[in-house]
Amino acid sequence: MVDLLAAEWLKVRSARSTRRVAIAVATVVGLMALLAWYVARLYDRVRADSGGRAEVSSPAELAAWLTALCLAVLGVRTITSEFATGMIRTSLTVAPRPGALLLAKAAVVGGIALVTGQLVTFGTALVSRGIVGDRPLGFNAEPLSAEVPVLLAAGLSVLMFAVVGVGLGAVLRSSAGAIATLCMLWYVLPIITINLPAPWSARVSSVMLQELPRQLAGAATADGLLSPLGALAGMVAYAALPLLAGAVLMRRREP
Amino acid sequence: MTGALAAEWLKVRSVRSTYVAVAVAAATVLLGVLFVLYAGSVWDARPPDRQPEFRAARPEQGFLPVVQLSLAVLGVLAITSEYATGMLRTSLTAVPRWRTVLAAKAVVVAGVALVVASAVLVGTFAAGRLAAGDRTMGFNTAPVADELPLLLASIASVVVMALLGLGFGAVCRSAAAAVTAVVGVRFLVPVVATLLPPPWGARLAGVQLQDLPATIAGVETTGGGEPAVGLVLLVGYAAVPLGVAAVLGPRTEA
Amino acid sequence: MCGGPASGSVGGVIEIRGLTKRYGRTVAVDDLSFRARPGAVTGFLGPNGAGKTTTMRAVLGLATPTSGEALVNGQPYRRLRQPMYEVGALLDAGAVDGTRSALMHLRWLARTNRIGRARVEAVLAQVGLTAVAGKRVGGFSLGMKQRLGIAAALLGDPAVMIFDEPVNGLDPDGIRWIRELLRSLAAQGRTVLLSSHLMSEMALTADRLIIIGQGRLIADTSVGELAEQFNRGVLVRSPRPTELTAVLTGAGATVVAEPGGALAVTGLGPAQIGDLAAAHGIAVHEATPRSASLEEAYLALTASSVTYAAGGGGGPR
């Protein structure tokens, strides 16, 4: 398994999708810094007549949300690119255990996503707070130390999305299909559930992917129905189920 | 051009991904009915005096993003699958003019999107009204004629999404990159725009693809632009990526 | 050189026993049995769609047999712990991620079986790709991709090597390079299984021939035996045909007079015919061996594969 992990790490390191995703993530962080700078400048200009208060949503959480999509695409590509080129046959010839191969991919992409997620969320939090200084803009009302649980959970969501990407890629074997499905889970489904009449709206919304991190941090705003442990279980289930389905299918389908 | 069109139609017809995309889009009818049945059960459970104030979203609008996304993927794959397999070189040998190939693909993709979107959205609309029966659930109170502009504009938005996918596919040449770009334009930019402080938030909100059907139909929205301007913007979403692709050329080498 | 367990570059064997593979109602391979032995290039020959690739995938554990088995060194492939030391395979040279460099492609492959970086450099040099090791594989010509695929197969210095249509699309230089490489691998005592649909290529490369058609074994033979089987004698022209006929039949040959005064002689080679004629003072104007080309022999065999199959699947031994 160590050898498989090392080989997958070499693969990810040397693929073009990884470089593109890295550029996308860097762009996200840059945009968040730009947003913070723009908001600060705007605040200074209108402070006089707005009464000195403004509400801006947290750039760090927004960064985590966007980074999650980037890393999920990376997760999808690590497996679908092999199906697209037929290289999966070579991979399975040199290491003839499909389940172990998929697990190694998930572990490597998950590891990258874990580190990237935390770096991006905490990095964006520090940078945006540094840029806006002591201007009261809502997201910096509390000290950074109080924001730590939310940031940790948001960073973890990046890991979860990346592993969901690997699983969906293994199940669907198509980049387009997997990324579209991911987008359904990540964005379209939550929008639809908001339209459901109460009480199911809140119930279904609380188990949507994007709602889980805040519930995990115990900081859910209104509709949070899950305990932090329940939210954690939900995140693990989201990551594990597609991966499990992918492993079973990779065993049964001939490459 | 007729030959190129016929060829593209055969290609679209003969790949499995087309049927998957259409099936996902068609599932909307079923989902819409389930949604209305659930909303109807909530309506039934209300005391009669509170029933008139009940509002449920239009089912065909609620599931519109699903239809848009699945046909955008169809548009993306119409070109990226040829890059992936190298078949584009064969296509360009048969029809050596890139813009003719692209135009033929655009016509076929738009045609498929038009037919599928019309069937699915009108189907969801009709099935939703049938499922609602005589309950007053907000979405079914206006006469059908009043709903037509929004329905037609929504169908047009699906066609535009499919062409946007085709354009991005031709520019990116990779399914993963193109689908991600489509998702970015359709779903991410609006979210980021709403987070921007004034005046940029409002400026960007008015031009979002998701709001254009309502703008064109003259339904009240946050953007609240002119219908004609909305229509121009909608066409632009399809035309700009395709125009860029036409200028860039096929770029089949490496 | 090789950073892992000691390789055994001799003694490997591929054994196919009653292998059958069905896809739905289509039978791709039908009760196929043969062995590929060390020290020889075993040519695996058949028309397109005969089941060659399916058989090779079964050997490599990529396809699960419907019945029967495909064994490498006495084991099913999927049971091998570090397969690269036992089997090297080239299935489809184009099946690589074009965005990766040749060096990184080989490095990740090597890493799965704990093969060191020095060995990667060595195989790159062996196939002549050192100069382009850092270049993206997507920009490689088909010939370069074939070399990369062969480098990958060589990484573990395995005793068994499997190549699926390795010369497809190559230029004459590339074909000769692969031919010589395969010959030298077999000369080192390795078991080399080589598939092709081109008899002309096999005649120059293979020692043994396994010929299949519609998934069934048609012939398990050698190049020499196949040539012998389709031998149609020697065409001889002489100004004194009657006397020559007497001499040759006296030496045990069968002689048939052909239209135009020529003689068709079987049972003696051209050299023996010439010597006998000279000894009896008979002039010979022509002595041409008329063995059917291997290509014709192969076409004759595969064209009648249905007839052979009806007879029980076995061919001439």
Question: For the whole prediction, is pTM greater than 0.90?
Answer: no
Strands of the C87-90 sheet, one edge to the other: C87-90, C160-164, C191-196, C40-45, C208-213, C216-222
Q: Kindly report the average pLDDT of chain C as a whole number.
A: 85
Count of A-C CB contacts under 8 Å:
85
Chain A nearest CA to B178, separation (Å): 8
| Phi, psi (deg, nearest 5) at residue B96 | -75, 0
Residues in chain C with CB shorter than 8 Å from the CB of B254 are 98, 138-139
Q: What is the ipTM of this complex?
A: 0.86
Q: Which residue from A minimizes the CA distance to C54? A: A254
pLDDT tens across the length of chain B (254 residues): 788 888 888 888 888 888 999 999 999 999 999 989 988 888 888 888 888 888 888 898 889 999 999 999 999 999 998 888 778 888 888 888 889 889 999 999 999 999 999 999 999 999 999 998 888 888 888 888 888 999 999 999 999 999 999 999 999 998 999 999 999 999 888 888 877 766 666 777 778 888 888 888 887 655 557 888 888 999 999 999 999 999 988 887 64
Per-residue pLDDT at C310: 41
Integer Cα distance of C70 and A200 in angstroms: 56
Per-residue pLDDT at C292: 66
pLDDT > 90? residue A230: no
pLDDT > 50? residue C315: no
Residues in chain B with CB shorter than 8 Å from the CB of A57 are 195
In this complex, the chains that touch C, judged by 3 or more CB pairs closer than 8 A, are: A, B
Q: Kindly report the average pLDDT of chain B as a whole number.
A: 87
Residues in chain A with CB shorter than 8 Å from the CB of B38 are 196-197, 200
Say if C101 is an interface residue toward chain A (CB within 8 Å): yes
pLDDT > 50? residue A139: yes
Residue A15 and residue C99: Cβ atoms within 8 Å? yes
In this complex, the chains that touch B, judged by 3 or more CB pairs closer than 8 A, are: A, C
DSSP, residue by residue, C41-83: EEEEE--TTSSHHHHHHHHTTSS--SEEEEEETTEEGGG-SSG
DSSP, residue by residue, B152-171: HHHHHHHHHHHHHHHHHHHH
C73 Cβ partners below 8 Å, 6+ apart? C11, C12, C13, C86, C159, C160
Chain C nearest CA to A172, separation (Å): 19
Chain B nearest CA to A144, separation (Å): 21
> Cα separations (Å) of C291 from B236, C272, C288?
72, 16, 9
| Contact by Cβ (8 Å): C245, C255 | yes
Integer Cα distance of C269 and B56 in angstroms: 96
List the single residue in A8, A16, A89 with the smallest CB-CB distance to C62. A89
Count of A-B CB contacts under 8 Å:
87
List the single residue in A31, A73, A184 with the smallest CB-CB distance to B176. A73
